[in-house]
């Protein structure tokens, strides 16, 4: 199942444009050790372990599919662990069905083709649960508890909010009694130390996520879409997972049934509470580490159904996962990540003339244009240094737009959002003030996407 899950994640991974978040990974990973450390002291410090790994990985290639391959491999590892944990809790068919469900989800494909750490977080979450089950079987073996502590340490180093899944481990451990608790709690505590460091780093840099809004209770209604990838696949998955409560066939130990349910449901509640008590941090992708729990619950439920019913339910899940917005086919379109940098670059390259200039309404958009266009683009008149800023993903730029443009007749401008967002791109106002007017605008990618616009200098008025 691991190979199948990896192949599913790899297929089509070279088609969709890299997203701005993935380009942030590229920007961070191509810096040296000193540059990475400097960046981590200002922004995305909790992603430092992942960025350090990607720094080594990108030494062997810069292609988009290569950047995404580690996430595909992590997806395969997660599928293997899901299969074995399902086998341990119920049976081999249950494990295989759980892994099949996990592989079939568009959300898993999305993160398996995403050059970010979320696929690693999901794999680490399964590894930690698997290690807990293995250690609880023979609580007297210290090596197994050391392995559990190491898995928890890996979990907190992949994505700090994935540590919320540990609440479910307490649900599992308490019914085992004192023999397990006295070993599980210290091991969990030791394993949480790296995560505590990254949590402190992230808290100190909370200004970087000031864009996150305070969540409303309605966010819980969006959980099925996050888990499944599409609303249809998500609700089918939730429905199948709920069947585990039916008193049919071989029973899963009660503490593990409750633990899997806690793994699925407690992290959203806890993240919601943190958002209201400390600072807004609720973003659905931060909860991706809960998806294996839904797959496990579904696999256990399917294994207890008659074969025909199980196959029909699995077929329904696949049918809801392939088509539609953010389904498997949709994710593999050029704008499957909402942005479409290659198309934006082509528009500029095909329409540019000698002497044209290009101006970016947001500095970090330059990363995508440099990645896909490089030296074939018009003159970047605002750029004042070739290396990214040490404390962000932007570039050093001059502010005097009119002076930088000089006597040029045409300027290409790129900003996030649609053509109607031009008023929020301050550099557009500077160009208009310098005598330029918009000739044409192209929206690329999906909403919000980005806009590529051509501005030309207005002819002088009068005779």
Q: Is beta strand 450-457 parallel, antiparallel or unpaired with respect to 357-360?
A: unpaired
Asked if residues 40 and 201 have their Cβ atoms less than 8 Å apart, the reply is: yes
- Given this model, what pLDDT does residue 210 score? 86
d(CA 16, CA 246): 41
pLDDT tens, 361-413? Answer: 988 999 999 999 988 899 999 999 888 999 999 999 998 999 999 999 999 99
Under DSSP, the state recorded for 196 is: H
pLDDT tens, 191-212? Answer: 999 999 999 998 888 888 888 9
Asked if residues 170 and 152 have their Cβ atoms less than 8 Å apart, the reply is: no
Asked if residues 89 and 300 have their Cβ atoms less than 8 Å apart, the reply is: yes
Is the pLDDT reported for residue 173 higher than 60?
A: yes
Written as one string, the DSSP assignment of 391-402 is TSSS--B-S-HH
149: nearest Cα among 189, 198, 197, 195: 189
Asked if residues 126 and 78 have their Cβ atoms less than 8 Å apart, the reply is: yes
Among 201-215, 276-290, 307-321, 418-432, the range scoring the smallest mean pLDDT is 418-432
212: nearest Cα among 171, 148, 161, 173: 161
Phi, psi (rounded to 5 degrees) for 28: -70, -45
- Given this model, what pLDDT does residue 462 score? 53
Asked if residues 81 and 151 have their Cβ atoms less than 8 Å apart, the reply is: no
Instruction: Write down the H helix ranges in 113-230.
Output: 118-137, 142-158, 166-173, 178-204, 223-228
- Given this model, what pLDDT does residue 239 score? 94
Distance of CA 394 to the CA centre of its chain: 20
Asked if residues 281 and 236 have their Cβ atoms less than 8 Å apart, the reply is: no
pLDDT tens, 268-297? Answer: 999 999 999 999 999 999 999 999 999 999
d(CA 127, CA 420): 47
Written as one string, the DSSP assignment of 311-349 is HHHHHHHHHHHSSSTTSHHHHTSTTTBSB-HHHHHHHHH
Beta-carbon contacts of 387 under 8 Å, excluding residues fewer than 6 positions away, are 395
Its pTM stands at 0.94
Q: Is beta strand 357-360 parallel, antiparallel or unpaired with respect to 410-416?
A: parallel
């Amino acid at each position: 199942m691991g190979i199948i899950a990896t192949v599913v994640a790899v297929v089509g991974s070279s088609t969709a444009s890299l997203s701005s978040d993935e380009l942030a990974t590229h920007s961070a990973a191509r810096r040296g050790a000193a540059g990475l450390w400097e960046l981590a002291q200002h922004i995305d410090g909790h992603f430092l372990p992942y960025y350090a790994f990607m720094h080594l990985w990108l030494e062997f290639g810069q292609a988009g599919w290569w950047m995404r391959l580690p996430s595909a491999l992590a997806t395969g590892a997660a599928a293997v662990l899901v299969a074995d944990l399902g086998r341990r809790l119920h049976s081999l068919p249950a494990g295989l069905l759980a892994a099949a469900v996990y592989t079939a989800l568009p959300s898993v494909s999305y993160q398996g083709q995403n050059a970010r750490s979320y696929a690693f977080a999901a794999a680490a979450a399964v590894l930690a649960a698997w290690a807990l089950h293995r250690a609880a079987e023979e609580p007297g073996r210290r090596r197994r508890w050391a392995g559990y502590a190491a898995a928890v340490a890996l979990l907190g180093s992949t994505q700090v909010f994935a540590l919320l899944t540990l609440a479910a481990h307490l649900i599992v451990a308490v019914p085992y009694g004192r023999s397990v608790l006295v070993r599980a709690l210290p091991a969990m505590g030791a394993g949480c130390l790296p995560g505590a460091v990254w949590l402190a780093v992230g808290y100190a840099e909370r200004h970087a996520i000031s864009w996150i809004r305070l969540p409303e209770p309605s966010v819980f209604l969006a959980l099925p879409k996050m888990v499944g990838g599409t609303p249809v696949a998500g609700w089918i998955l939730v429905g199948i997972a709920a069947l585990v409560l039916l008193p049919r066939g071989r029973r899963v130990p009660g503490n593990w049934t409750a633990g899997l349910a806690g793994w699925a449901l407690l992290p959203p509640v806890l993240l919601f509470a943190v958002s209201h008590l400390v600072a807004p941090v609720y973003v659905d992708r931060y909860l991706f580490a809960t998806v294996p729990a839904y797959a496990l619950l579904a696999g256990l439920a399917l294994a207890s159904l008659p074969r025909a019913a199980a196959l029909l339910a699995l077929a329904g899940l696949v049918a809801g996962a392939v088509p539609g917005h953010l389904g498997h086919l949709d994710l593999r379109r050029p704008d499957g990540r909402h942005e479409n940098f290659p198309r934006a670059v082509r528009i500029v390259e095909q329409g540019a003339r000698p002497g044209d200039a290009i101006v970016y309404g947001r500095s970090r958009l330059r990363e995508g244009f440099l990645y896909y266009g490089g030296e074939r683009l018009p003159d970047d008149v605002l750029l004042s240094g070739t290396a990214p800023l040490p404390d962000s993903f932007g570039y050093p730029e001059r502010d005097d737009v009119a002076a930088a443009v000089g006597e040029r007749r045409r300027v290409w401008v790129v900003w996030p959002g649609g053509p109607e967002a031009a008023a929020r791109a301050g550099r557009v106002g500077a160009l208009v003030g310098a005598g330029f007017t918009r000739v044409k605008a192209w929206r690329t990618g999906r909403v919000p996407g980005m806009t590529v616009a051509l501005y030309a200098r207005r002819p002088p008025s009068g005779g």
